[in-house]
Structure 1
Amino acid sequence: MSVDFYCDEVLSGKTPVNKVYETENVLAYHHTRPFYPVHIVVIPKRHISSLITLEDSDTGLLVELLSVVKKVASDVVSEQGACRVITNLGKYQDSKHLHWHIAFGTPIR
């Protein structure tokens, strides 16, 4: 069984994070091992494997997630002038928990 970093570490509180924004169902925080100078992760607080495993019943959560992604991305664009919004699927998705990266700058590693 694989470890779900977001459920097992972040949401459990085992790994402390620097929160950017939070709602009842969504958490945005600074990446614990950033790849970019500005690197924020947005996750649902409930386990969902990926964007393509969302159920029709998850529509409300998806809207809330995208609302948080929009807010955080807008803040980064206001501060930095640009950003990337990325979600990975399949072999590109290391952590099998739905999440978005909001990033600015040249990769630092």
Structure 2
Amino acid sequence: MKNDFYCDEVLSGKTLVKRVLETENVLAYYHTRPFYEVHIVAIPKKHISSFLDVTEDDTNIMNEIMMVIRQVASQVTKEYGACKIITNLGSYQDTKHLHWHIVYGDRIRN
């Protein structure tokens, strides 16, 4: 398995991040290399490789992450008037740890 940036760096504390919202099982923080004007990442603290790997055992974590995403998206929308919520699968997913991007604005990187 490739390195998992979220487990290896963010959740371990090796890479410091600007936290937006944190719960017992979820962390939302500003992306360390943003692609958008506003770029927030929401991750479960438990390692789940992909949305396709979510099981019934993950129901509580999924409910919690959806509430965090909703709250962060609401804050971004209130401040900027809009946002996108993005998750990737398969070869589109660079880091094999379930995560969502809550973004606003035009893409600023290739």
TM-score range normalised by the length of the shorter chain: over 0.9
Q: CA deviation at 1:108?
A: 0.6
Instruction: Specify the alignment match of 1:72 in structure 2.
Output: 72
RMSD of the TM alignment (CA)? 0.5
Per residue, is there more strand in 1 or in 2?
2
Question: Within 5 Å, which residues of 2 pair with 1:6-85?
Answer: 6-85=6-85
Q: Deviations over 1:4-27 (max 9, x none)?
A: 000000000000000000000000
TM-score (norm 2): 0.98
Aligned residues, how many? Answer: 109
**Cα distance in 1 for residues equivalent to 2:20 and 2:33:** 15
Corresponding residue SS for 2:40: strand
**Cα distance in 1 for residues equivalent to 2:71 and 2:54:** 22
Q: Report percent identity of matched pairs.
A: 64
Corresponding residue SS for 1:67: helix
**Cα distance in 2 for residues equivalent to 1:7 and 1:50:** 14
Corresponding residue SS for 1:9: helix
Corresponding residue SS for 1:106: strand
Corresponding residue SS for 1:105: strand
Q: CA deviation at 1:45?
A: 0.4
**Cα distance in 2 for residues equivalent to 1:106 and 1:98:** 23
Instruction: Specify the alignment match of 1:98 in structure 2.
Output: 98
**Cα distance in 2 for residues equivalent to 1:55 and 1:83:** 28
Deviating above 4 A after TM superposition, structure 1's stretches of 4 or more consecutive aligned residues are: none
The gaps in structure 1 that reach 5 residues or longer are none
**Cα distance in 2 for residues equivalent to 1:4 and 1:17:** 16
- Name the aligned partner's letter for residue 92 of structure 2: Y
**Cα distance in 1 for residues equivalent to 2:66 and 2:26:** 10
Corresponding residue SS for 1:70: helix
Instruction: Specify the alignment match of 1:86 in structure 2.
Output: 86
